Copies of this chain bind each other. A is one copy, B any other.
């Protein structure tokens, strides 16, 4: 089975950019299997994602090293990684298990190319369910006072670091994270919010949706940022509701929407299909 590498890259647009990069890949005897390119016409920025197979003997490291000088010259943000290697992913959860159970099923059935070295929770409720899967469960209570909260998130950050976590998923983790935490893990923490952001940011969105009488509700998968529910949006899905749906009905209906929206957003990230640029996420969709 050949090695497939994924390269993402963004930089200021200019003539010849694509020829330059595809020429480099050709020089490595790489064969493209999927290419996405997009130039933002409003600010003249070039974005691309390349999937290519490399011949036996060519390694991720050698390709990275050889591409370095070109990237420097282009002044580009870039990344190359091996599609086959699972991403080390830490799950954070509170008391509701629908997103967690779904994510664990996708991990267990190998639908999602992730390893789960750790599950962290601010409650002990879901310990048995997690340990049944053979996964370590870490209970880190989060006090309400700023100092205690800060210390808790210091422990969380260290725990993620200790297991070499590359991505953290907030599976309905009901805590607002300190700014420093969001910045330390920028674009590496994915959250699911149970509304069609920017509508109904903050607490209890289904109640707000009911009061406003909307006919569509939904969920938003986004990167966590210091500003609450304002990070770059990766994916959104919606479901229709009717007047007879109470907030409790919406919570029930919303669970299916939340877990699918989260799973799809995470998958896009895991497959290196997301490039963040300012407040917007470029998503080279599958």
Partner-B contacts on A (CB < 8 A): 13-20, 22-23, 25-26, 29-39, 41-42, 97-98, 101, 105, 109, 111, 132, 196-200, 211-216, 218, 232-238, 242-244, 246, 249, 252, 255-256, 260, 263, 279-283, 285-286
Contacts and interface: CB of A to CB of B under 8 A. Distances in A.
B111 A105 contact: no
B39 A32 contact: yes
Contacts of A111: 252, 255
Contacts of A286: 244, 249
Nearest to A38: B244
Contacts of A32: 17-18, 37, 39
Nearest to A31: B15
Contacts of A19: 19, 22-23, 25-26
> How many copies altogether?
4
Contacts of A255: 111
Contacts of A132: 132
Contact of A13 (B17, B31, B256): B31
Contacts of A214: 196-198, 233, 236
A18 B22 contact: yes
Given A132-B132, A243-B283, A279-B213, A34 B42 contact: no
A16 B53 CA distance: 12
Closest 9 CB pairs of A and B: A213-B280, A19-B26, A35-B37, A199-B199, A19-B22, A215-B236, A16-B26, A243-B282, A18-B22
A190 B160 CA distance: 44
A39 B33 contact: yes
A202 to B, nearest CB: 13
A13 B36 CA distance: 17
A26 B35 contact: no
A213 B196 contact: no
A232 B246 contact: no
Contacts of A252: 111
B98 A246 contact: no
Contacts of A13: 31
Contacts of A109: 97-98
